[in-house]
Amino acid sequence: MKKLLPVLIILIFIATSCKKKTDSENENVTELIETKIDTEKTQIVEKKREKVIPEYSTVEKPKISKADYLNFFKDVLRTDGMIVNKPIKIFPMESKYWNADLMRLTEKDKDSSLSELIDKNDISFIYEQTELQKGIVLKPKNIPRKKIERKYLDDLLEKVDLETYWNEIYKMGSGYYSIELPLFSIDKKIAFFRYSYSCGSLCANSGTYIYKKINGKWEWIGGIGPEIVS
């Protein structure tokens, strides 16, 4: 019996070691299964969050009317700013110049307030407006802002120095706009508006700006492309 005791101890040790190894392997397998399940759940949730974008040809496009343009201008143009009295035409946003900037607005960016602002169908609609709305010309007289003639500005600039020029302008308003018709997203809640505003010898801005309809009013939220500020 004494001779068998060491053998029994060794067998018990081996059995215990095997059990621990099996338990450890089971735990590893369980962890792998749980990790896989969690990963699959995450992927399912992410897929659900992905916006399904239909084919552009199947999307119903809204009609852009002159009233849409007028309502936009009423919200975004300064009340004390004047408009150069000339026909207002559509902003020619061509894909070869603007596609990269617009595509960035379709991407998810947690650090940008413009993250996923539009989608690829909105971009197609913007380019479509550039072509289809070419025939639309809006007369400034319909916009409730004071008008100023380009010829008057040019003639005045030739006759007087800059200080006198702007003193004369300030008698009529804070400055003057040169504007183009905005381009809208499909839901007409986002607009791209190119304009220049002159308000002094060292006071001006020109660029393409983004507006969003918030609580029924158009509000500035950012810009794309080059901007000139002085």
Q: Are 208 and 193 in contact (CB under 8 A)?
A: yes
What pLDDT, on the 0 to 100 scale, is given for residue 168?
A: 97
Rounded to two decimals, the pTM is 0.77
Specify the 3-state DSSP secondary structure of 74.
helix
What pLDDT, on the 0 to 100 scale, is given for residue 11?
A: 53
Average pLDDT, the chain: 85
Tell me the backbone φ, ψ of residue 80, rounded to 5 degrees: -100, 5
| Better-scored residue on pLDDT, 228 or 12 | 228
- How many angstroms separate the CA atoms of 117 and 150, rounded? 36
Interval 100-123 mean pLDDT: 93
Structure tokens at 61: 């496009």
Smallest CA-to-CA distance from 76 within 123, 126, 143 is with: 143
Tokens 């960016």 belong to 109
- How many angstroms separate the CA atoms of 106 and 121, rounded? 10
Diameter of the chain by CA atoms? 126
- How many angstroms separate the CA atoms of 4 and 147, rounded? 113
What pLDDT, on the 0 to 100 scale, is given for residue 17?
A: 56
Tell me the backbone φ, ψ of residue 115, rounded to 5 degrees: -60, 130
- Condensed to tens digits (0 to 9), the pLDDT of residues 120-156 reads 999 999 999 998 888 889 999 999 999 999 999 999 9
- Binned at pLDDT 50, 70 and 90, residue 157 comes out as very high
